[in-house]
Chains A and B, each alone.
Chain A
Amino acid sequence: AQKVTQAQTEISVVEKEDVTLDCVYETRDTTYYLFWYKQPPSGELVFLIRRNSFDEQNEISGRYSWNFQKSTSSFNFTITASQVVDSAVYFCALRHGSSNTGKLIFGQGTTLQVKP
């Protein structure tokens, strides 16, 4: 079975703090893809990153960084020096690599509140 778990339901930090959002996944596929999306109050899911199962390199994009560890089936997301504009719901998602499908399996999401 495929499953994504985001154990943190809500996180509240003060601006400029660093924050890490956890994501643990389950899959039997050897090839799969992991994603992070941000959902601001407007409702649209904004794509942040895609990672292939065979590429364990960490990635940094500005204040955002991602740590992918196959050994622990985790794909964690860190925001450095958080800002109020980072307040949103963040979703981690998993996609099969073994079949040609666009289906995404989402975690329950983590609501991040950044206070000024």
Chain B
Amino acid sequence: KAGVTQTPRYLIKTRGQQVTLSCSPISGHRSVSWYQQTPGQGLQFLFEYFSETQRNKGNFPGRFSGRQFSNSRSEMNVSTLELGDSALYLCASSLGNTPNTEAFFGQGTRLTVV
């Protein structure tokens, strides 16, 4: 069974640009969550999508957005990049039909904003 796939693995962007990250969940999983990991703030929840609907949202500015497609693949977009957006972005996949399930993570996309 294939795991969670995130692309690209590494990105370098310039301040002010926008970026799109992609996540393909495990087959059959309908929930995709996104997290930002930084040395200072640790792992912080961005948002969760379930069956193409945003089910939960963290405390991030509107520059951070996401969507989920009918095949459960998800993308997150960050517009008007700031230096502080440099982080490891992790995607997690789970069945999503109950909170009593584990989430499986991808290897992440490391975004550097210069």
Residue numbers of A with Cβ under 8 A of B are: 33, 35, 37, 42-47, 50, 52, 91, 95-97, 99-109
Contact = CB atoms under 8 A, between A and B. Distances in A.
B99 A47 contact: no
A103 B33 contact: yes
A95 B99 contact: yes
Interface of B: 31, 33, 35, 42-43, 45, 48, 50, 55-56, 58, 88, 90, 92, 94, 96-108, 110
A103 B56 contact: yes
B106 A102 contact: no
Judged by DSSP, the binding face of B is: strand
Contact of B48 (A33, A102, A105): A102
B108 A43 contact: yes
B101 to A, nearest CB: 8
Contact of B103 (A47, A96, A99, A109): A47
A108 B42 contact: yes
Contacts of A45: 90, 92, 105
